[in-house]
């Protein structure tokens, strides 16, 4: 790891806990470099002996403003989606629980990464949402994952409206498991109490058992929504207008085609 890395990676708790920290504040954009760094860290540690958990958090006052809009434009989005969705699969298939601590904004691709993990610990005033619809596009991974984290009507509300929930609202909806002033400390306390005393071998089997149906469905659904995004959405005028308007810092003009 160097000072220019978008991600800080280290082992904690005598090697029982893998720490991953997004380290490009204030936005902590989930771009190609961040996706690659996260994927590489998970690959490097998935067979670490005695590992019982992962804690993903972020430097600065915001977890992530989301994915790189520049990488969403028509000529680049296929590669971006393929890389992000491979990371999502790697997270869902990771052999031990991934805890996430969220402060400030956790939006778009940032929330999609969080959704692929396990319990979410957040401040009461955190903001969690999928604002892609504001840009004339939709959130492929969140479309697959949100219905598993909350009920279908709540998932559709967040996906269609693009609105954000506070940390406390997200807890009531079932999206966030713990609200705390210090979500990193709360996540560490959870790990120390509930995961560290367990057998890593048993924990890995429990994770595989609990996530088996999700993994099978998610692989097929990600392929389906990726095709919808690339072959239908990105052929519309409004999707390209919304992305161009965001990059130009102007309001989009919809023609509904």
pLDDT in tens, 138-169: 999 999 999 999 999 999 999 999 999 999 99
Taking residue 153's Cβ as centre, other Cβ atoms within 10 Å add up to 9
Q: What does the pLDDT read at residue 203?
A: 98
State the pLDDT confidence band at 181, using cuts at 50, 70 and 90: very high
Q: What is the pLDDT of residue 144?
A: 97
| pLDDT grade for 95, boundaries at 50, 70 and 90 | very high
3-state secondary structure the chain: CCCCCCEEEEEECCCCEEEEEECCCCCCCECHHHHHHHHHHHHHHCCCCCCCEEEEEECCCCCECCECHHHHCCCCHHHHHHHHHHHHHHHHCCCCCEEEEECCEEECHHHHHHHCCCCEEECCCCEEECHHHHHCCCCHHHHHHHHHHCCHHHHHHHHHHCCEEEHHHHHHHCCCCEECCCHHHHHHHHHHHHHCCCCHHHHHHHHHHHHHHHHHHHHHHHHHHHHHHHHCHHHCHHHHHHHHHHHHCCCCCCCCC
Of residues 229, 227, 226, the one with CA closest to residue 243:
229
Distance between CA atoms of residues 176 and 124, nearest Å: 10
Q: Is the pLDDT of residue 174 over 70?
A: yes
pLDDT at 3 over 80: no
Report CA 141 to chain centroid distance, whole Å: 9
What is the pTM for the complete model shown? 0.96
| Dihedrals phi, psi of 120, to nearest 5 degrees | -110, 130
Check residue 1 and give its pLDDT: 42
CA–CA distance, 17 with 227 (Å, rounded to integer): 36
Nearest to 174, CA basis, from 148, 195, 156: 148
Tell me the CATH number for domain 1-181+202-257.
Answer: 3.90.226.10
Residue 169: count other Cβ atoms within 10 Å of its Cβ. Answer: 17
> Is there a cis peptide before residue 26, judged by omega within 30 degrees of 0?
yes
Average pLDDT, the chain: 96
Encode pLDDT of 29-45 as tens digits.
Answer: 999 999 999 999 999 99
2, pLDDT greater than 50: no
Mean pLDDT, residues 89-113 taken together:
98
- Which tens digits make up the pLDDT trace of 13-28? 999 999 999 999 999 9
- For 125, half-sphere exposure in the C-beta direction (CA atoms, 13 angstrom radius) is 5
Give residue-wise pLDDT tens across range 196-235: 999 999 999 999 999 999 999 999 999 999 999 999 999 9
């Amino acid at each position: 790891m160097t000072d220019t890395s978008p991600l800080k990676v280290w082992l904690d708790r005598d090697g029982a806990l893998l720490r991953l920290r997004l380290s490009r504040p204030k936005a902590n954009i989930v771009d190609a470099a961040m996706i690659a760094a996260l994927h590489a860290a998970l690959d490097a540690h998935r067979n670490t002996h005695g590992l019982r958990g992962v804690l993903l958090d972020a430097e600065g006052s915001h977890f992530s403003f989301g994915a790189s809009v520049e990488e969403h434009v028509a000529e680049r989005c296929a590669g971006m989606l393929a890389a992000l969705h491979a990371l999502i699969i790697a997270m869902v298939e990771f052999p031990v629980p991934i805890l996430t601590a969220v402060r400030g904004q956790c939006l778009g691709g940032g929330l999609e990464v969080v959704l692929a993990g396990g319990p979410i610990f957040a401040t009461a005033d955190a903001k969690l949402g999928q604002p892609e619809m504001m840009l004339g596009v939709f959130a492929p991974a969140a479309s697959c994952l949100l219905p598993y984290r909350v009920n279908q009507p709540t998932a559709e509300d967040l996906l269609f409206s693009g609105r954000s929930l506070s940390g406390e609202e997200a807890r009531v909806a079932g999206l966030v498991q713990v609200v705390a002033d210090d979500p990193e400390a709360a996540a560490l306390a959870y790990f120390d109490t509930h995961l560290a005393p367990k057998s890593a071998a048993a924990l890995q089997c429990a994770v595989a058992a609990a996530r088996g149906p999700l993994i099978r469905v998610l692989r097929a659904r990600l392929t389906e929504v990726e095709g919808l995004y690339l072959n239908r959405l990105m052929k519309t005028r409004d999707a390209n207008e919304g992305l161009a308007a965001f990059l130009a810092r102007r309001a989009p003009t919809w023609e509904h085609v």
